[in-house]
Structure 1
Amino acid sequence: MRAPFYVRGKTGEVEREIGPFGNPEQLAYGLTAEKKTLYRVRFSMQELWGETAENPTDTVDVEVYAHWLEEV
């Protein structure tokens, strides 16, 4: 998985679908890339940083490919 480390294992909400793009894991090696759907996922600071979050109700949006997401 190539999602940012700080969101791995965290629960967010899909804010919207951005669209299909070439798989970055294949593009990195100069391969022909199949299309993968990219999503914008919203996480609360509370979810990401727990008790150390300065503003727990603030959010951060992260763009994550569908094959790196897990349904909860």
Structure 2
Amino acid sequence: MGEPPAVAPRAFDPPYLAPGAAAPRFAPGAVVRVKRGAAPGHMRTPWYLRGRTGRVERVCGHFANPEELAYRRDGEPVLPLYRVRFALADLWGDGDGDTIDAEIFEHWLEPGDAP
């Protein structure tokens, strides 16, 4: 696999932070990997990204957990949501420099160098 695609540096706008919520774990530009595990029930994270490495393009803010909302729960605690950029070549073997962005909640991400 190649190096995750570069992203332009962006500042995170603090008003998107939910009051009292934990600060986002990953900053724009951080290399992250989507966890491979499967959780029972509703999952918002695409299977084709499981185990793949990308780069955080931006922190979108804090949002209710849709995996909890799907079961009529309150979605608490709110979770940081990230836009992560992946090289198409790393996903499907071709792509000639093309990328795909996906919005992924923090609990599905780990550092890109995690074992």
Same fold (TM over 0.5): yes
How far has the Cα of 1:5 moved from its partner? 1.0
Structure 1 gap ranges (5+): none
Alignment of 1:51-66 (within 5 A): 53=94, 55-66=95-106
Q: Which runs of 5+ in 2 are unaligned?
A: 1-37
Counting aligned pairs with the same residue, the percent is 51
**Are 2:87 and 1:47 equivalent residues in the alignment?**
no
Structure 1 runs of 4+ aligned residues shifted over 2 Å read: none
Structure 1 residues 12 and 67: CA distance shift in structure 2, 3 A: same
Higher helix share: 1
- Worse-superposed segment, 2-11 or 34-43: 2-11
Residue equivalent to 1:6:
48
Distance of 1:45 and 1:56 partners within structure 2: 8
RMSD: 1.1
SS at match of 1:70: strand
Equivalent pairs counted in the alignment come to 69
Q: Judging by fraction of residues, say which structure has more strand.
A: 1
TM-score by length of 2: 0.57
Q: Is the 1:7–1:48 contact (alpha carbons within 8 Å) kept by the matching residues of 2?
A: yes
In 2, are the aligned partners of 1:37 and 1:65 still within 8 Å (CA)?
yes
